[in-house]
Amino acid sequence: MSEIRMTGELRTDYECEATGLPAERWAEAVFKAANEEIVLEVSVEKEVMVAIMVGEDAAWKGTLEGLKKILRGEIKAK
């Protein structure tokens, strides 16, 4: 049997909630807004990797530590 290495949760302002979604290697959340897809993907295969994609032409992918540094303003996204 596969090992659960990550779980996911999703909550909305309509009091909808999905919790405990199991994943062994990766998971993604897809949102559709204003005719665009917003995707957040998390992988735990080796180290924690995060990918954020908006539409077809805007994306960032890197480590969890790299994302934290971007959000703290310590580095700029490429």
Angle at 24 between CA 72 and CA 3, to 5 degrees: 125
CB burial readout 9-28, b (16+ within 10 A) else e: eeeeeeeeeeeeeebeeebe
pLDDT in tens, the chain (78 residues): 689 899 999 999 999 999 999 999 999 999 999 999 999 999 998 899 999 999 988 999 999 999 999 999 999 987
Q: Which tokens belong to 27? A: 């998971």
Give this prediction's pTM: 0.86
